[in-house]
Amino acid sequence: MERILISACLLGHAVRYDGKGKPLDHPAINRWRSEGRLVTLCPEQAGGLPTPRPPAEIENGLSGEDVLEGRARVLEVTGGDVTPAFIAGAERALAVARDNGCAYALLIDGSPSCGSGFIYDGSFSGARHPGLGVTAALLRRAGIAVYSDREIDALVAHLDGEAGTAS
């Protein structure tokens, strides 16, 4: 049975920058939890960042891929450079995923770590653009299928289809 790395905030853990969770209410979450499929992690905390913490975004409308390639930084609204913590958190997330046999990740969209459909553009104005956060980019590079919280039905369909063909 394939395991799923999941953003801790999606399970209600108070790990987000604002000290809150963002629980995802979906029947599959409880089913996967009871099946022992979920592996919970907050990459930002795993990278050593405190909670709460200043909001952070990837600069200049760039993406997690750019951060991994050294072309962009992750900056706090205060101007602090937290790029090393975001990279360390992404590396920790990948290690945890590999250690636990996670072929999938279900991550909160919009985050400079976990975003996979969109991220914010670095202006701290609420403007967003398509792109990957640092953790989502590293997981995808490693061949882990990344789904955003808005794509949970697609992940359910994929996993249920896989289970239906495993007879």
| Mean of pLDDT values over 99-128 | 98
Q: How many domains does the chain have?
A: 1
| Mean of pLDDT values over 125-141 | 98
H or E stretch at 76: strand 74-76
What is the model's pLDDT at position 6? 98
Does residue 167 register a pLDDT over 70?
Answer: no
Cβ distance 137 to 68 under 8 Å?
A: yes
What is the model's pLDDT at position 164? 54
What is the model's pLDDT at position 165? 47
pLDDT band per the 50, 70, 90 thresholds, residue 161: confident
pLDDT band per the 50, 70, 90 thresholds, residue 163: low
| Mean of pLDDT values over 98-125 | 98
DSSP, residue by residue, 119-155: EE-SSSSS-EEE---HHHHHHHHTT-EEEEGGGHHHH
Q: Phi, psi (5° rounding) for residue 57?
A: -145, 155
Cβ distance 115 to 132 under 8 Å?
A: yes
Does residue 137 register a pLDDT over 70?
Answer: yes
Tens-digit pLDDT profile for residues 20-55: 999 999 999 999 999 999 999 999 999 999 999 999
What is the rounded average pLDDT for all residues in the chain?
96
Tens-digit pLDDT profile for residues 75-104: 999 999 999 999 999 999 999 999 999 999
Taking the C-alpha atoms of residue 16 and residue 44, their distance in angstroms, rounded to an integer, is 8
Strands 102-107 and 56-58: unpaired
Provide the residue range defining the domain that includes 71: 3-164
Which DSSP category does 113 fall into? T
Does residue 59 register a pLDDT over 90?
Answer: yes
What is the model's pLDDT at position 33? 96
H or E stretch at 32: helix 27-34
